[in-house]
């Protein structure tokens, strides 16, 4: 075999290899596309989400709002260097307990500059009144 024929044979082999690779990629791509379409069909049901009138029935107008469930109300207490604040109003220990008795509990924030004795006394009174406490600390 001459050098020309050897070169031609190599070129033909390379081209056949490229065709085989292309054919394999097309086959795998087609399978991947079919799998994606099957998953979409199974996931989305009969409709493809192209809009339209829809098939719903009933007297509703579609303007209902979900009911908000905020849970039971709790009083907000903040203990800082100024004193005790309940729901944004500066107050004393007895009034804070009276306000929190009417709620489900107390959310207490104690800042870093609060006097420790003030918080200890308030905690003792809240515990004696059996008011549940959720305590957080905050920077001053």
The residues spanned by each domain of the chain are 1-46, 75-138
pLDDT of residue 53: 54
pLDDT of residue 47: 61
pLDDT of residue 120: 93
| Residues with pLDDT less than 50, the chain | none
pLDDT of residue 21: 94
pLDDT of residue 58: 62
pLDDT of residue 27: 95
Q: What element of type H or E holds 109?
A: strand 106-111
**Alpha-carbon 69 to chain mean position:** 18
Compute φ and ψ for 135, nearest 5 degrees.
Answer: -105, 135
């Amino acid at each position: 075999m001459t050098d020309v024929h050897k070169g031609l044979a190599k070129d033909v082999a390379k081209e056949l290899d490229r065709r085989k690779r292309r054919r394999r990629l097309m086959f795998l791509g087609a399978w991947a596309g079919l799998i994606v379409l099957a998953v979409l069909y199974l996931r989305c049901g009969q409709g493809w989400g192209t809009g339209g009138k829809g098939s719903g029935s009933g007297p509703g107008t579609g303007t209902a709002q979900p009911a908000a469930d905020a849970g039971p109300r709790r009083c907000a207490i903040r203990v800082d260097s100024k004193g005790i604040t309940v729901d944004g109003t500066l107050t004393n220990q007895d009034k804070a307990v009276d306000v929190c008795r009417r709620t489900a509990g107390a959310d207490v924030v104690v800042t870093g500059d609060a006097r420790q004795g003030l918080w200890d006394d308030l905690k003792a009174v809240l515990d004696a009144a059996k008011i549940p406490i959720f305590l957080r600390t905050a920077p001053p």
